[in-house]
Structure 1
Amino acid sequence: MPQAVDATPLSAERADAIATSFSRQGLMTTFGAALTRVMRGEVEIAMPWSEGVTQQHGFFHGGAVGALADSACGYAALSIVGDGEAGLTAEYKINLLSPAQGERLVAVGRVLKPGRTLIVAQGDVYSETAGVRKAVATMLMTLCVVRTLDHV
């Protein structure tokens, strides 16, 4: 099994650049999601429960679960690439482990294998109620390292 990148603190400048990039994500804004932890190789994003992110049975929609994991993995990748680079999702596989219900969802994205052109990341999503987490999904993702115009 590949060893994840050791999560260590980022420079304030890099953490701010990631927060600025995250604030430009319309979907995460629509979801009410927020960055709750940003480290080198590991990012956590939380999203509160709301009617707007549910399916017909009142659970968090699988699409919302997947989008949260996708963003967490993407920002974990962004935390390790060079200036002027980003990691764009090339593919992912998600396993929905149990119905996602609770006060909020928390996605933790971790870089498993950094690379010059490809990055492999894992995203684990938890439902949370009263501070107790339950695993609801896990994602394995490949990201392609690309040059960007805006440096994040």
Structure 2
Amino acid sequence: MQTLDLSLAQDVLAAQPFSRLLGARMVSFGDGEAVLELDVRDDLRQQHGFVHGGVLSYLADNALTFAAGAAAGANLVTSGLSIDYLRPATGRTLRAHARVVRAGRTRVVCRCDISTVDDAGTETLCAVAQGTIAVV
């Protein structure tokens, strides 16, 4: 199994065309956890001015899978994901913090908290997600 570190995780994220399109950043990785960030832009909003739920789902999906990778290695794919939107996402930055709940031989279950960060640096929880990541 290849040893994964923050630098390699950042390279993997940068190799994903959709992640590059959105401008996602890997800011922390290791010990069964991963933190991704994404700057809020107007083209990521829905008609009411909030960040679109699909953007939050993308961020959860990727953070969950990277957290699983921090525990189980690189050959993984998401096999299931559920997300609950708690409040509209506004602010300057989205931050997804995912952590492993249980790493099995063929499946890794992870949880992710997605927060918005305002100009003062205050985090507000806006969504929670859980995912099952399959070891390929």
> TM-score, normalization: structure 1?
0.83
Alignment of 1:82-121 (within 5 A): 82=73, 85-121=74-110
Asked if the contact 1:102/1:128 (under 8 Å) is kept, the reply is yes
The structural deviation recorded for 1:19 is: 1.6
Query: Kindly, what percent of the aligned residue pairs are identical?
Result: 31
Asked if the contact 1:123/1:139 (under 8 Å) is kept, the reply is yes
Alignment of 1:2-151 (within 5 A): 14-82=5-73, 85-129=74-118, 130-146=120-136
Superposition CA RMSD, Å: 1.3
Structure 1 gaps, min length 5? 1-10, 147-152
Structure 1 Cα separation of the partners of residues 63 and 108 of structure 2: 14
The structural deviation recorded for 1:16 is: 2.5
AA of the residue aligned to 1:91: G
Give the length in aligned residue pairs: 133
